[in-house]
Chains A and B, each alone.
Chain A
Amino acid sequence: MGHPVHLIIDGQPHDLTVDPRTTLLDALRDHLGNMSPKKGCDHGQCGACTVLVDGRRLNSCLLLAVSLDGAEVLTSDGLAPDGEPSVLHTAFLEQDAFQCGYCTPGQICSATGVLREAADGHPSVVTEDHGHDHPIELTEDEIRERMSGNLCRCGAYVNIVAAVRQAAGASTASEGTAR
Chain B
Amino acid sequence: MRPFDYVRADDPAGAVAAMAERPDAAYLAGGTNLVDHLKLGITAPDLLVDLGRLDLADIEELPDGGLRVGAMVRNSDLAADPRVRRDHPMLSRALLSGASGQLRNAATTGGNLLQRTRCVYFQDPTTPCNKRAPGSGCSALGGYTRYHAILGASDACIATHPSDMAVALAALDATVVVLGDDGEKRLPLTALHRLPGDEPERDTVLEHGDLITAVELPPPDGAARTRSTYRKIRDRASYAFALVSVAAVLELDPDAARPTILSARIALGGVAHAPWRARRAEQLLAGAPATRESFRRAAAAELERARPVAGNEFKVTMAQGAMGSVLAELAGLGEENEDSPDE
Contact = CB atoms under 8 A, between A and B. Distances in A.
B28 A64 contact: yes
A128 to B, nearest CB: 12
Interface stretch (B75-83, B306-314, B320-328): B75-83
A87 interface: no
B106 to A, nearest CB: 5
Given A124-B96, A133-B85, A20 B48 contact: yes
B105 A125 contact: no
B154 to A, nearest CB: 29
Interface in B145-191: none
Contact of B89 (A57, A59, A130): A130
A133 to B, nearest CB: 5
B32 A62 contact: yes
Interface residues on B, range: 35 or more
Contact of A58 (B82, B106, B239): B106
B102 A42 contact: no
A36 B318 CA distance: 44
Contacts of B82: 133
A106 B264 CA distance: 43
A145 B93 CA distance: 13
Contact of B101 (A42, A44, A130, A149): A149
A116 to B, nearest CB: 11
Contacts of B6: 3, 20, 64, 66-67
B31 to A, nearest CB: 5
Contacts of A1: 3
Interface string B59-86: 0000000000000000010011010011
Given A62-B32, A123-B92, A148 B100 contact: yes
Contacts of A113: 101-102, 105
Given A44-B36, A58-B102, A67-B28, A131 B1 contact: no
Contacts of A121: 80
B3 A59 contact: no
A144 interface: yes
Nearest to B2: A21
Contacts of B39: 42-43
A111 B102 CA distance: 10
B161 to A, nearest CB: 18
B201 interface: no
A149 B239 CA distance: 7
Contact of A110 (B28, B31, B101): B101
B3 A21 contact: yes
A67 B103 CA distance: 16
Contacts of A148: 100-101, 238-239
B35 interface: yes
A81 to B, nearest CB: 23
Interface string A1-43: 1010000000000000001110100000000000000000011
Interface in B97-136: 97, 99-103, 105-106
Given A117-B101, A123-B85, A149-B103, A62 B96 contact: no
B219 interface: no
Of listed B3, B31, B48, residue having the most chain A CB within 10 A? B31
Nearest to B232: A125
Contacts of B89: 130-131
A125 B93 contact: yes
A165 interface: no
Given A63-B31, A130-B93, A148-B238, A57 B1 contact: no
The 8 tightest CB contacts between A and B, nearest first, are A149-B100, A148-B238, A20-B6, A125-B96, A148-B239, A122-B80, A56-B105, A125-B97
Given A21-B1, A44-B36, A57-B105, 18 more contacts: A20-B5, A21-B38, A43-B40, A44-B103, A56-B105, A57-B102, A59-B102, A62-B36, A64-B28, A64-B48, A66-B50, A67-B6, A67-B31, A125-B97, A130-B92, A131-B85, A131-B86, A145-B237
